[in-house]
Each structure stands twice: as structure tokens, then as C-alpha cells.
């Protein structure tokens, strides 16, 4: 069922309000009587003031709120329990197409098998698929190649949490047997992959990258893992993420960028992007809340797809922000990401935020018929690597794509709305804060989760709802802006587009487009309307077929 646009908040009492949390008690227990003076202190934190009579009247109500908070906290909630009210990114009157058609990928008829293993390892999924189906390459051999590379390089990159060698080889042999009998599951048949270690898999650790959870075992299968398993994928390993989905610092160290081992891989899908970049796996599953696919894809020089919010189920994944978390693939090409998305998309009864919508890609669709815009002011000036961004526009013009300039303008400033993420994260990790588990975290600086979660408890529930209401306006405005175009080209980090599109749930495709002066990869981003990822793939595929930015390999790992 498609739900009409309705931006709703999580239950208010789970995250509290400054007018209660600052009233003379700790996160664990009451420490004294609430007085008009304590109300003054709380009101100052949120920029309000009250008369003596108003404060006197409030004491009883606030005392009751505090009592109710303590009652709420007597019930322990697992991270997997979501709020009863669900975020929906659909603008008023907009419903995605649900007429699913057969895909026409336009895969090559023949692919030559490279002589050297490392050349095989760096092939895109689209080529590996042809080699597997034609039986030039067995799934078992391909799995052995990646296992060897992971054992050789994962410590150098600090990108691996759990290697699943035994189960991967068993699955590979099974898939080879199926193919020998004529059973072929599709383009992902027999191809290994990795997942960000916030997806649960039975009998393996799901650490969320954080010390308090480094031995955690969640005995359920994530929907994405289940779907990839059914499609013939081979889960070969669980890769690192920045602790609780921030950055590239996890309990085992810092995940490295294969292009520069003195540099972190960025986050939070750090291990997924680093491993793909170094040829340890052909694709991996990441997540994004506010840049966690786009940022590591940029840093590591790989191609990341952030699908529309609600496109892919998050069941079995760590919750950070119920209204912003999104699941997507990281690979070597736009086409590879499409092959993965075709398997993963769809409604899931276990995730009420999923929205049924078709994903129809055909190589026969004419890319030159797309109406392509670009945020013109973002391509002006002298900022670092801007010539790489302009080169993408030049390439498109050369290929006969007419480019239409436009500006990203909204009446809503997205910066304050990002606090919704902080509030929801504080609720998702309520006991993490109250029981002082946050003291075990590696990162303890001002902008790390422990301090963010503590501070977020002082954001009033009323302000959270006001953010949600402004977000409704932002969604509608972005819908009106984007609906006149099929794809919009933008520098990945210019202006506020990354904040805005993560808040509105719009899809994005992040592509390599060269290197900065220091040798670090750079990227360009393509945006599309809700549930129109096939248009991102069409334009992204054109760019990548007419350039070689995505074919570059980190020299230290090209052996």
C-alpha cells in the first residue's frame, strides 16, 4: 500500500525535551525536586522565558513528565524496534510507478577471461556475470581469488571485520553445480560480495563498528542478505564501518583509502568502499544517512548508488535515523549498481518504510532523450578539483546531451533539520547513553556520537516536530524543482544538495571523475526524481563508457 505524504515524528517521550531533562536530574535517575529555578535553567537552554506564575503552574506537570520518563525507561527497547510513526518521502499527489517490466541490461555477449587473477578481480560485475554464465570462469575460482586478496590486503586496509570463507566456498560450489545442470539465477549468480557490518547474519558478529557491540551476535538474516542469497550472491565478508555509522574510525582502528594509506577511507561505509576500490570484492552493500555512501565512494574512487528512501528494505540493519537511513550498493560502475538494485528493491513487510515501486531499466532507452540539468553556480569559481567537475559537463555536451542550467533554491534552510538525525540517533541508542556504554567508544571528541547523543536529549520535542513540518515543505519544493528534469548533474559536495537530498529522500549516483592534486579520487553526483534510478544509470553508464575514470586501480593493490 502506498501511503500519502505524511512526515511524522518518533514518539516524543523517547527522546525528551529540554524543559524536563535539565530540571535537576541525571539521565539515570531523579536527583531532586523540580523548582521554578530549575525551569529557568532549562528555558535558557532553548531560548524561552516564563513568568513566575507560569513557572509555578508548570512544576506539577513537569514533575509528572519526569515520572513518566522513568516509567518509559523501565522498558528496554532493542535497536531493531522502530517508531510506530513512519517517515514517507512522497510529495502530495505523487505515486511511483508499480508496473515492473523485464530488464534489458545490454550485457556483452562475450568477455575474454584475463590471464592474471588480479585482472579478474578488478572486472566489473557485468563482465564477471558473462564469464560465469558462459562457464569460462567458475564461481569457486572467483571466490578463491577474492578470498586470497582479502587475506593478503585486508589488514593493510583495516577494512574487514569477519571473513566468511567456509560458507562462501560451500555456496560457490553449489552454484557451480546448479549452473552445470542448467539452473541460472541471474546476473549475480556465483559472484561474491561484501556487506557493511551493520547488517545481521546468523552465527556471525554484527559489531556496528563500536566497542560496546564488538561481540554482538544477532541471529536473524537481513533482508538484503536474504535477497542476494536467493539471487546467487556469495557473501564473502563483513566489512568495517565507522563506529555506529560515522566516519572511518572503528574499534579496530582506521579504515584506509587504497589510494593513500595515510588517509582514512571516509565513512561510514568505509570498509565496503575501500574493499571494492582495492579489488577485494566486486561490490558491497553500504548505507547512507547523510553522505555515508557518497563520501567513501568519492574518497576511494568507486561508484556508489544511494537509492530513493524506502526503495530497499532496512530490516536487519542497525537503525541510526528511521527517517533518513538508506541502503545502497557500492561497485565499479553504474551498471553494476543497477544489477544489484534490481535484486534488492521492493516492499518488505518487515520494514514499514519500504514503498512498492518498479525499477525498469532497458539499454534500448535513448539516453539522449533525457532532459539533463546542472546546478550552474556550483561549477563556477576556483575551488579544488573544479576542473574535474567541468570535464563531466564537457563530456556530456560532446556526446550530444543538451544541458540546462538551474539553481538549487529552497525557502527552507536544511542545516537545522539535520538535528532530526541527532534526535533519532539518541533515541535509537537511548541505553547506550544512559548506561554509560558511550564511555567505551574510541572517538570521544566534541563531534563524536557520545557527545552528539547526550546533547540531542536537550532538543525539545516541539522543535523536532517543527523540523519535520519544515521538512514537508522542503520535500514539496524539491519535487517541484526536480520534476522538470530527468537527471541533474552536481558536484558531490557543493552547496547544500547533499543535506537536502538526504532529507527529501531523493536518489543519487556518485561517480569517479578524476583525481585531486594530491592523488586522491574525486567524484561527480547525478540526482533524479524519486524512484527514477534507471535514469541515473542511463546517464552514468554513458559517462563511464565514454571515459576511463572508474577503470583506474590503486597501484599498491594492482598486483
Closest CA to 344 of 319, 321, 315, 365: 315
Q: Are 211 and 440 in contact (CB under 8 A)?
A: yes
What is the distance between the alpha carbons of residues 455 and 436, in angstroms, rounded to a whole number? 14
**Cα 401 off chain centre by:** 29
Helix residue ranges, H only, 161-293 = 165-180, 223-230, 270-277
pLDDT at 187 over 90: yes
pTM, whole model, 2 decimals? 0.92
For CATH 3.90.1300.10, the residue range(s) in the chain are 117-412+472-552
Residue 513 vs residues 289, 328, 389: alpha-carbon distances, Å: 23, 20, 7
Q: What is the pLDDT of residue 11?
A: 32
Give every CB contact of residue 543 below 8 A, 6+ residues apart in sequence: 334, 392, 395, 396, 511, 524
The helix (run of H) or strand (run of E) holding residue 438 is: none
pLDDT at 16 over 60: no
Lowest mean pLDDT: which of 14-28, 329-343, 365-379, 426-440?
A: 14-28
Q: What is the pLDDT of residue 446?
A: 86
Closest CA to 405 of 385, 377, 367: 377
For residue 326, the cross-strand partners are: 288
Give the homologous superfamily in CATH for domain 117-412+472-552: Amidase signature (AS) domain (3.90.1300.10)
Residue 149's pLDDT band (boundaries 50, 70, 90)? very high
Q: What is the pLDDT of residue 31?
A: 58
% pLDDT > 70, the chain: 94
Q: Are 34 and 59 in contact (CB under 8 A)?
A: yes
Taking the CA atoms of 14, 15, 20 and 26 in sequence, report the sign of the dihedral they define: positive
Mean of the pLDDT values across residues 260-264? 97
Q: What is the pLDDT of residue 32?
A: 84
Q: Tens digit of pLDDT for each residue in 88-120?
A: 999 999 999 999 999 999 999 999 999 999 999
For residue 317, the cross-strand partners are: 199
Cell of 255: 579504515
Q: Tens digit of pLDDT for each residue in 315-343?
A: 999 999 999 999 999 999 999 999 999 99
Amino acid at each position: 500500500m502506498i501511503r500519502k505524504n505524511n512526515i511524522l515524528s518518533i514518539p516524543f517521550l523517547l527522546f525528551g525535551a529540554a524543559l524536563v531533562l535539565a530540571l535537576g536530574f541525571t539521565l539515570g535517575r531523579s536527583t531532586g525536586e523540580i523548582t521554578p529555578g530549575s525551569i529557568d535553567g532549562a528555558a535558557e537552554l532553548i531560548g524561552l522565558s516564563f513568568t513566575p506564575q507560569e513557572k509555578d503552574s508548570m512544576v506539577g506537570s513537569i514533575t509528572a513528565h519526569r515520572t513518566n520518563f522513568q516509567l518509559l525507561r523501565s522498558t528496554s527497547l532493542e535497536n531493531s524496534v522502530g517508531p510506530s510513526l513512519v517517515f514517507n518521502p512522497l510529495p502530495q499527489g505523487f505515486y511511483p510507478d508499480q508496473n515492473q517490466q523485464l530488464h534489458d541490461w545490454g550485457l556483452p555477449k562475450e568477455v575474454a577471461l584475463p590471464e592474471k587473477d588480479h585482472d579478474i578481480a578488478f572486472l566489473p560485475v557485468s563482465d564477471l556475470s558473462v564469464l560465469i554464465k558462459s562457464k569460462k570462469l567458475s564461481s569457486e575460482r572467483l571466490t578463491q581469488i577474492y578470498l586470497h586478496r582479502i587475506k593478503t590486503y585486508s589488514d593493510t586496509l583495516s577494512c574487514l571485520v569477519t571473513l566468511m570463507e567456509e560458507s562462501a566456498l560451500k555456496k560457490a560450489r553449489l552454484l557451480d553445480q546448479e549452473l552445470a545442470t542448467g539452473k541460472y539465477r541471474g546476473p549475480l549468480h556465483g559472484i561474491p560480495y561484501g556487506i557493511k557490518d551493520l547488517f545481521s547474519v546468523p552465527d556471525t558478529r554484527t559489531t556496528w563498528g563500536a566497542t560496546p557491540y564488538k561481540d554482538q551476535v544477532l541471529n536473524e538474516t537481513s533482508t538484503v542478505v536474504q535477497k542476494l542469497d536467493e539471487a546467487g550472491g556469495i557473501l564473502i565478508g563483513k566489512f568495517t564501518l565507522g563506529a555506529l555509522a560515522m566516519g572511518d574510525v572503528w574499534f579496530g582502528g582506521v579504515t584506509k583509502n587504497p589510494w593513500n594509506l595515510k588517509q582514512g577511507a571516509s565513512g561510514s561505509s568505509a570498509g565496503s568502499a575501500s574493499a571494492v576500490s582495492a579489488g577485494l570484492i566486486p561490490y558491497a552493500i553500504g548505507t547512507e544517512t547523510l553522505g555515508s555512501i557518497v563520501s567513501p565512494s568519492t574518497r576511494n574512487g568507486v561508484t556508489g548508488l544511494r537509492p530513493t528512501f524506502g526503495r530497499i528494505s532496512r530490516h536487519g540493519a542497525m537503525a541510526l535515523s528511521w527517517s533518513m537511513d538508506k541502503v545502497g550498493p557500492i561497485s565499479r560502475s553504474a551498471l553494476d549498481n543497477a544489477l544489484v538494485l534490481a535484486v534488492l528493491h521492493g516492499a518488505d513487510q518487515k520494514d514499514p518504510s519500504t514503498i512498492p515501486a518498479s525499477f525498469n531499466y532497458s539499454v534500448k532507452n535513448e539516453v539522449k532523450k533525457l532532459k539533463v540539468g546542472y546546478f550552474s553556480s556550483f561549477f563556477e569559481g576556483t575551488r579544488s578539483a573544479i576542473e574535474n567537475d567541468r570535464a563531466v559537463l564537457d563530456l556530456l555536451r560532446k556526446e550530444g546531451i543538451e544541458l540546462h542550467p538551474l539553481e538549487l533554491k529552497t525557502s527552507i534552510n536544511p542545516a537545522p533539520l539535520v538535528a532530526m538525525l541527532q534526535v533519532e540517533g539518541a533515541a535509537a541508542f537511548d541505553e547506550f547513553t544512559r548506561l554509560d556504554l558511550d564511555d567505551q567508544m574510541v572517538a570521544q571528541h566534541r563531534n563524536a556520537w557520545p557527545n552528539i547523543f547526550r546533547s540531542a536529549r536537550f532538543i525539545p520535542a516541539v522543535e523536532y516536530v517543527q523540523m519535520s513540518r519544515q521538512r514537508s515543505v522542503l520535500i514539496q519544493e524539491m519535487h517541484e524543482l526536480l520534476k522538470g528534469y530527468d537527471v541533474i548533474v552536481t558536484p558531490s559536495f557543493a552547496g547544500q544538495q547533499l543535506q537536502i537530498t538526504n532529507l527529501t529522500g531523493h536518489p543519487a549516483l556518485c561517480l569517479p571523475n578524476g583525481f585531486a592534486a594530491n592523488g586522491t579520487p574525486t567524484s561527480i553526483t547525478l540526482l533524479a526524481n524519486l524512484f527514477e534510478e534507471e535514469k541515473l544509470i542511463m546517464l552514468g553508464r554513458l559517462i563511464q563508457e565514454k571515459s576511463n575514470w572508474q577503470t583506474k586501480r590503486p597501484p599498491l593493490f594492482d598486483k
